[in-house]
Amino acid sequence: MKTITNKATFDVYSNDIDENIYVTIEKIEVDDEYVNVFHNCETALYDCAEFEQVISEIVQFDVKFTEKMQQDSYFSRLEAV
């Protein structure tokens, strides 16, 4: 498992709560199947397309969210496209 600890901060728009959210990435873990992202947001970021784009840039390959039930406060799980 590869761990990325350089922090990134950015804004995303949440359709779920209809407002912009300021996100700070705390840590990213990359394994063979998933990209696990630990962040500072209490809101699940499943509906924030910008989040997928930023994480793709950080890990240097395209990712998308896994199913909605695998998202949580302070944690997002994505997979390679």
Question: For residue range 20-72, what is the model confidence (pLDDT) as tens digits?
Answer: 999 999 999 999 899 999 999 998 899 898 999 999 999 999 999 999 888 99
Question: What tokens appear for 41 in the block?
Answer: 């947001």
- Residue 70 domain boundaries: 2-80
CA distances from 23 to 17, 38, 48, 53, 71 (A): 14, 10, 11, 13, 15
Q: Residue 25 belongs to what H/E stretch?
A: strand 19-30
Count of domains for the chain:
1
Tokens 């406060």 locate to 73
- Residue 6 predicted with pLDDT over 90: no
